[in-house]
Structure 1
Amino acid sequence: MGTTILDTARPAEASSPAPVLLTVKEAARCLRIGRTTCFALIRTGELESLMVGGLRRVPADAPAAYLARRRAEQQAA
């Protein structure tokens, strides 16, 4: 007889809200690039970021916006 595994995780609606800001490491993970490369994109202005106190943060929608720009550039070429 088969064993049934129940998913006991809480539904997505019940979990904490999606982050508004990402750390550079989290943004790099979203883009599947290294942290150093992510900082280079921030330094050149290709990836939006801001300072919160002394911490560098990336808006949660910035990685998707960066990818959309890159895709549009490649399609235009």
Structure 2
Amino acid sequence: MSIASVENARPAEASDLAPVLLTVEEAARCLRVGRTTCYALIRTGELESLTIGGLRRIPADAPAAYLARRRTEQRAA
């Protein structure tokens, strides 16, 4: 293996990867709501979240899942 191919085989940097977890602020921005509203959704269990150490994180797919549930509920009403 040449030096050039080793340099090209570098691991992906953090900025190249899609996030797996979001902060509450990032999830709130995704949903276009305020931070307080996002915490309220977490508290009621409407928005999935995890505690890692002392940090609250939202799985990256949770905002989309929340919106899908809300859309289904509104169509049924």
The Cα RMSD (Å) is 1.5
- Matched with 1:57 is 57
- Tell me the amino acid that sits aligned with residue 20 of structure 2: V
Which secondary structure state, in structure 2, belongs to the residue aligned with residue 66 of structure 1?
helix
- Matched with 1:8 is none
Give structure 1 regions of 4+ aligned residues with deviation exceeding 4 angstroms. none
Gaps of 5+ in 2: 1-12
**Structure 2: distance between partners of 1:53 and 1:61:** 21
**Structure 2: distance between partners of 1:75 and 1:66:** 14
- Matched with 2:17 is 17
- Cα deviation for residue 16 of structure 1 reads 1.2
**Structure 2: distance between partners of 1:56 and 1:44:** 15
- Matched with 2:72 is 72
- Cα deviation for residue 74 of structure 1 reads 0.2
- Tell me the amino acid that sits aligned with residue 68 of structure 1: A
Which secondary structure state, in structure 2, belongs to the residue aligned with residue 58 of structure 1?
strand
**Structure 1: distance between partners of 2:57 and 2:33:** 16
| Deviation digits for residues 8-55 of structure 1 (CA, Å, limit 9, x no counterpart) | xxxxxx851100000000000000000000000000000000001110
Going by fraction, where is helix more abundant, 1 or 2? 2
- Matched with 2:4 is none
- Matched with 1:41 is 41
Gaps of 5+ in 1: 1-13
